[in-house]
Amino acid sequence: MDLLDLEFHFIEPVGNERDRADQESIFDYVEALAFEKAKSIVGKVPANSYVFGSDTIVLFDGQVLGKPQNKLDAVRTLRNLASTRHSVITSICGYDIANNIIVKDFVETEVYMRDFDEIEIKTYVESGDAMDKAGSYAIQNELFHPVEAIKGCYFSVVGLPVCNLLKILTQLNLKSIIDVDRNQLNFEMCTKCVMLCSAGKS
């Protein structure tokens, strides 16, 4: 959010994340979760507010991996993910409350995990960083460094794809500018990032 130079406030969404419904596609599911988060705080903000909700899921071997239920669950998940590939899907929902306008988008990124061992897994889980993360890991953790490579958007795996957020802001007629030159190293972590296709500002 700081990359967009926006003033913002974080508000904890109300309610628990629901399970995926029968016949509901993965993409519809993650978009619905983002919308439900945004909608859940409408009564807590002024009526002319713009609310943004985001949700991330990990799709591995056809199964959705959410946040771990406990440390044992986190260890088990990381054992399964080591030296494998999975998808991270992140959705953003922008909600213009006053005009009842809803804009949604999602990004899918392929993630290739490195071969970490049992000691590394347990040390990381004991740090507590795994416990509130979909798939039980944070790509940006410099000590564990779980990811070997990605194909797609780095910020999507972190949990908030900046380029897509910028697109949603534009659709809601909220102007924002990213200084691409100043933040080039951030966008170079993505593969084929659209922000680096044009020089200067975007």
Per-residue confidence band for 197, with pLDDT thresholds at 50, 70 and 90: low
Per-residue confidence band for 46, with pLDDT thresholds at 50, 70 and 90: very high
Residue 59 CA to residue 75 CA, distance in Å, equals 17
Residues tagged active-site? 55
Nearest to 83 by CA among 120, 28, 46, 133: 120
Q: Which tokens go with 31? A: 């978009």
Q: Tell me: the pLDDT tens digits for 74-86?
A: 999 999 999 999 9
Please tell me the pTM assigned to this model: 0.85
**In which order are the strands placed within the sheet that holds 101-113?**
63-65, 50-60, 85-96, 101-113, 147-151
Residue 93 CA to residue 55 CA, distance in Å, equals 9
Q: Kindly list the domain boundaries of the chain, sorted by start residue.
A: 2-193
In CATH, which of 1.10.1660.10, 3.20.20.120, 1.10.10.10, 3.90.950.10 is domain 2-193? 3.90.950.10
Q: Which tokens go with 167? A: 């697109």
Give the pLDDT of residue 5: 74
